[in-house]
A and B are shown apart, each in its own frame.
Chain A
Amino acid sequence: MDVVVQQTVNALALGGTYALLALGLAMVFSVLGLINFAHGELMTVTGYAMYFVLTAGLPFEIAVLVGIVAAIATAMLMERVAFRPVRNAGTATMLLTSFAVSTILHMLFQNLISARPKALPVPDWMIGALNIAGFDIGVIQLMSISATALLLFALTVFLRRSTLGIAMRAASLDFPVTRLMGINANMVISTAFAISGLLAGVAGVLWLAQRGSVDPLMGFLPVLKAFIAVVLGGLGSLSGAVLGGFTLAFIEVALRAFLPDDWLPFRESIALALVILLLLVRPEGLLGRKEAIR
Chain B
Amino acid sequence: MSRSNWLKTTAMTAALAGAVFASGTAAAENFKVGYAGGFTGYLAPYDQPSLKGVQLAIDEINAAGGIGGTMPIELIVKDTRSDTAQAAVVAQELVDDGVSVMIVSCDVDPAVASGVIAQAAEIPSVSSCASTPTLPAAVGPYMFSNYTADNLQATVLASYAREQGLENAYVLLSRDTPYTEKLPEYFAEVFAAMGGNVVAVGEFTIGQQDFSAEVTNIKGLDPQPDVIMTAAYEPDFPAFLKQLRAAGITAQVLGSDGIDSPTTFGLGDVAEGVVFSNAGFPSEGSPLAAYEAAYEAKYGEPNDTVFTATGYDAMLVIAAAVEAAGSTDGAAIRDAWDNLENVQVATGTMTYKGQNRVPVRVVALNQVSGGERVHVGDFTPDPSQIPAP
Contact = CB atoms under 8 A, between A and B. Distances in A.
Query: Do A and B interact?
Result: yes
A211 B235 contact: yes
B267 A210 contact: no
A45 interface: no
B266 interface: yes
Contacts, number: 132
A110 B269 CA distance: 29
Contact of A119 (B49, B203, B263): B263
A121 B268 CA distance: 7
Given A115-B48, A215-B234, A216-B44, A221 B210 contact: no
A213 B266 CA distance: 9
Interface in A212-244: 212-213, 215-218, 221-222
A124 B175 CA distance: 32
Interface residues on A, range: 35 or more
B293 to A, nearest CB: 20
A129 B246 contact: yes
Interface stretch (A68-76, A92-100, A160-168, A264-272): A264-272
A7 B210 CA distance: 11
A14 B268 contact: no
A124 to B, nearest CB: 5
B203 to A, nearest CB: 5
Contacts of A128: 246
Interface stretch (A134-142, A145-153, A189-197): A134-142
Given A124-B269, A136-B248, A256-B214, A268 B205 contact: yes
Highest count of chain B CB atoms <10 Å: which of A107, A129, A212: A212
A116 B46 CA distance: 8
Interface of A: 3, 6-7, 9-10, 13-14, 17, 106-107, 110-111, 115-122, 124, 127-129, 136, 138-141, 207, 210-213, 215-218, 221-222, 249, 252-253, 256-257, 261, 264-265, 267-268
21 contacts: A110-B44, A116-B261, A117-B45, A117-B234, A121-B266, A121-B267, A121-B268, A138-B212, A138-B247, A140-B242, A210-B210, A212-B238, A212-B239, A212-B266, A213-B235, A213-B238, A215-B45, A215-B235, A264-B202, A265-B175, A267-B203
Given A17-B209, A106-B41, 19 more contacts: A110-B48, A111-B40, A116-B305, A117-B261, A119-B265, A121-B266, A122-B268, A127-B242, A138-B212, A210-B235, A211-B235, A212-B235, A212-B242, A213-B238, A222-B209, A257-B213, A257-B216, A261-B200, A267-B205
